[in-house]
Amino acid sequence: MGSAAEPSGPATPQGETSADTEASPGAARSGPSAASRGGEPTSSPAATRPTGPAADSPPGPAGVAADAPPAATGPAPDAPPAAADAPAGPATDSSPGPTGPATDSSPGPVVLSFEALAADFAPESLGSLSGEPPAASEDQLREEAFNAAWRFLSRRERTEAEVRARLERNDVEAPLIDEVLDELKSCGYVDDAGYAQRFAEDRRNLDNWGAERIERRLRELGVDRTHIAAALAAGDHDELAAATALLARRYPVPPEAPRDREKALGFLVRKGFDLELAHDALRRHAASAVER
């Protein structure tokens, strides 16, 4: 009898692989598994694929698990672009969360406080741009008051009341008005007594005014009554003779009709002669006509 063949090695149990087979990944994938030989369905290659790195792959940094979603490596969509030289930070979750919107690093509008604006636009800080002019000194006010008085007197002679009223319209203070008038009166530029006398002479000689009209006008100009009385009494003026001469020029023929006589009397009264004096002048004019 021939000798039985010697076993080449220990028998391998069914369903197990040898050590050589485990060392070689290619051997593990070479044939169908024991379960497939038995007629049972085989699993997908992915189910038998090892989860760790391959034995013959080069070592490297630990990878991410195969079933984990890829981590975002770039900045969040709402975040501003990072500077080129800034180090890369941890990945930012782009999903909305309770942390609120991302902070914008761009410069925002400049906010000015109300107090700062009020201080910048205060009237004292604007200088000449302010609506109110700077306050004038006492010397400037005095000079302006005297200039206003001189301009008013340069046209014609004025009474004290006229000058005072003009300075009041120019908003000059009362004490300063008194000072200006005292100076003008001491220098003779304002003289109510002389003004009344000259006014009476001119109105009598140039306009043939009577005493009543002259007095009325001087009172309107603010002249004191004593100055008016002195002006009317000055000189050797004959009021009746002046009224008779004026009537003779207007009516060369003495009026005889009552209506004409009334017109003649009204003419003398409007010129400022007293009504009684006007009657005397009318009778004298008639008498002089009879004598001629």
Q: What is the mean pLDDT of residues 15-35?
A: 41
Q: Does residue 174 share a domain with residue 142?
A: yes
Residue 107 has pLDDT above 90, yes or no: no
Q: Specify if 98 maps to a domain.
A: no
227 found inside a domain: yes
Examine the domain organization and report whether 263 and 283 are in the same domain.
Answer: yes
Q: What is the pLDDT of residue 138?
A: 85
Based on the fold, state whether residues 179 and 221 are members of the same structural domain: no
Q: Is the dihedral of CA 153, 157, 159, 160 positive or negative?
A: positive
Does residue 61 surpass a pLDDT of 80?
no
DSSP 11: P
SS3 146: helix
User: Are 220 and 248 found together in one domain?
Assistant: no
Residue 65 neighbours by CB under 8 Å, 6+ apart? 51
Position 225, amino acid: R
> What does the alpha-carbon distance between residue 221 and residue 192 come to, in Å, rounded to a whole number?
10
Helices (H), the chain: 19-23, 25-28, 34-37, 45-48, 114-120, 123-126, 138-153, 160-169, 174-186, 192-206, 211-220, 225-233, 239-250, 258-270, 275-291
Domain match, 248 and 232 both: no
Give the pLDDT score at 291: 72
Residue-level pLDDT at 124: 53
Does 261 share its domain with 292? yes
CB of 33 within 8 A of CB of 42? yes
Q: What's the mean pLDDT when you consider all of the chain?
A: 72
Whole-number pLDDT of residue 118 = 55
Q: Kindly state whether residues 175 and 216 are assigned to the same domain.
A: no
State the residue range of the domain holding 150.
138-190
Are residue 245 and residue 226 in the same domain, yes or no?
no
Q: Lowest mean pLDDT: which of 52-66, 168-182, 246-260?
A: 52-66
Query: What pLDDT shows up at residue 116?
Result: 60
Mean pLDDT of 16-31: 42
Token pair 């085989």: residue: 42
Tell me whether residue 128 is in a domain.
Answer: no
Question: Once rounded to an integer, what is the mean pLDDT over residues 276-289?
Answer: 91
Same domain for 260 and 292, yes or no, is yes
Residue 165 is assigned to a structural domain of this protein: yes
Write out pLDDT tens, residues 221-264.
999 999 999 999 988 889 999 999 999 999 999 998 999 999 99
Domain total in the chain: 3
